[in-house]
Amino acid sequence: MSRNGRAAGPRVVVTGLGPVSSIGVGAAAYGQSLRAGQVGVSEIRSFDAAGFPHRYAGEVRDFEPDRLLGRLDLTRWGRSSQFAATAARLAVRDADLSSAQIEAAGLGVVMGTTSGESQVVEELTARAVAAGGGQAFPPEVVSQLPAARLAYAASEELAAPGLSVTLANACSASNYAIGYAYDILAGGEAEAMVAGGADSVCRWAHAGFYRLGALSDRTCSPFDRDRTGILTAEGGVALVLETLEHARARDARIYAEVLGYGLNCDARHMVAPDANRIADCMRLAHANAGVKPADVGYICAHGTGTAMNDHAEAAAVRMVFGDDPPPMSSIKSMLGHAMGAASGFGAVAAVLAIHDGFLPPTMNWANPDPRFDWLDPVPNRSRPAQIEVAQNNGFAFGGNNCITVFGALR
């Protein structure tokens, strides 16, 4: 395989994983669920879904931030910030980074999100509806609104001194965060970073996707001929990225190398994906990572479960990979669509695929789509595989495409 042509600078590796998801909290539980094809979808509890025709989502049922966090005062932070901070804490614990190492490495945090503190917006809205105006906004709730607080919560929890920023690039935001953190390390501005994303299930997104005709009743079946759409989901996810030198000096476990990423914008439509631009984005990612299509052994799909996404994503893969594309599965068939956290969950899946040697499955799959019957979606059962390079797709409203590429450390 070729990894030539990459920008000079330190190599960057993944040393810690912190998923907080509907299929498991922590790297071990999450990895086991991916392997077992565990589906995390359940009847919605975060809001009263009684009036909705569809009432299922990928909620994090066993989210207990108070048991996992070290420093953060939970009363001051909204649910998405708590997801971000908990994911960051789990990732740092998984990486076995001490407080002193966090300070010395100048550790920074980049978090991605679609709707930030959406449940805080909904709480304020409900109060305004009840009282007939915003005079009923409680100040302690208003102060939890800014989406920047997702990254701040993680920085606060970790007592991290570096850059702390939240990227609001909708459903590819975690990939943006990972890419930005990678750049900061490759550019020599820090020795360790935490990157990921967070979002919470909320009424307005549930209603919006339903009205777009994109919401499934209770099953997400990407790449299946009879797919019925997405399921909204939530969670937080974080990865510890370090320079290879920093990781080796402290004898850290290395899951995989961040080879690079690519990003571009459709600049054509706010909602509909553009296969040609997605293909362009894949080419940018491969060039940045110094890999060729033939090097890629697994694609962790954006795979939302809508016909529109399936067709665009499959068409783009065909354009870039030709007649012999690698297996491409969608973990959203298990997790649902965790919005700003989604591509972070994908990144963790790609990293575990490389490190643990398996392909996560596309669950709920029954029939090939005749428009892309060549696709191997790893149907319904994970399988062992040795993966050298994995690509993690992320697309979003606003035409915000971002694709990360990970490789086995060689």
Residues 14 to 73: which contact another protein by CB under 8 A?
51-53, 71
Binding residues among 156-195 for another protein as defined by CB under 8 A: 156, 159-170, 176, 180, 183-184, 186-187
Closest by CA position to 89, among listed 104, 68, 117, 114: 68
- Residue 302 annotated as catalytic: yes
Residue 96 CB contacts under 8 Å (≥ 6 apart), including other chains = 16, 252, 253
- Residue 337 annotated as catalytic: yes
Q: What's the min distance (Å) between Cβ of 399 and another protein?
A: 6
**Contact with another protein (CB under 8 A) among 207, 249, 294, 366:** 207
DSSP state of 170: G
**Contact with another protein (CB under 8 A) among 8, 75, 132, 251:** 132
CB-nearer residue toward another protein: 288 or 329: 288
Q: Residue 260 pairs with which residues in a beta bridge?
A: 405
Structure tokens belonging to residue 239: 């990865």
* Cα angle 311-316-319, degrees, rounded to a multiple of 5: 125
Candidates 202, 302, 355, 402; catalytic one: 302
Residue 129 engages another protein in binding (rule: CB under 8 A):
yes
How far is it, in rounded angstroms, from Cα 335 to Cα 300?
Answer: 13
Helices (H), 231-289: 244-249, 275-289
- Residue 286 annotated as catalytic: no
Closest by CA position to 18, among listed 348, 377, 366, 374: 348
**Contact with another protein (CB under 8 A) among 155, 200, 329, 393:** 155
Residue 404 engages another protein in binding (rule: CB under 8 A):
no
Residue 203 engages another protein in binding (rule: CB under 8 A):
yes
Helix axes 275-289, 307-321, angle to 10 degrees: 50
Binding residues among 223-252 for another protein as defined by CB under 8 A: none
CB-nearer residue toward another protein: 50 or 323: 50
**Contact with another protein (CB under 8 A) among 269, 294, 374, 380:** 269
Q: What share of the chain is helix, strand, coil (3-state, %, to 5)?
A: 40, 20, 40
Residue 178 CB contacts under 8 Å (≥ 6 apart), including other chains = 110, 195, 196, 239, 241, 258, 261, 343, 344, 347, 404
Q: What's the min distance (Å) between Cβ of 117 and another protein?
A: 8
CB-nearer residue toward another protein: 204 or 374: 204
The count of chain residues that interact with another protein, using the rule CB under 8 A, is: 84
> How many residues make up the chain in this entry?
410
Residue 320 engages another protein in binding (rule: CB under 8 A):
no
Closest by CA position to 87, among listed 107, 65, 104: 65
Residue 356 engages another protein in binding (rule: CB under 8 A):
no
Phi-psi domain of 61 (left: phi exceeds 0; alpha: psi -120 through 50; beta: other) = alpha
CB-nearer residue toward another protein: 172 or 382: 172
Candidates 171, 202, 281, 402; catalytic one: 171
Residue 122 engages another protein in binding (rule: CB under 8 A):
yes
Residue 334 engages another protein in binding (rule: CB under 8 A):
no
Residue 263 engages another protein in binding (rule: CB under 8 A):
yes
Residue 134 engages another protein in binding (rule: CB under 8 A):
yes
Candidates 281, 337, 355, 402; catalytic one: 337
Q: What's the min distance (Å) between Cβ of 241 and another protein?
A: 15
Q: Is 196 strand, coil or helix?
A: strand
**What is the distance of C-alpha 34 from the center of its chain?**
14
Residue 287 engages another protein in binding (rule: CB under 8 A):
no
Residue 273 engages another protein in binding (rule: CB under 8 A):
no
Query: Which residues are known catalytic residues?
Result: 171, 302, 337
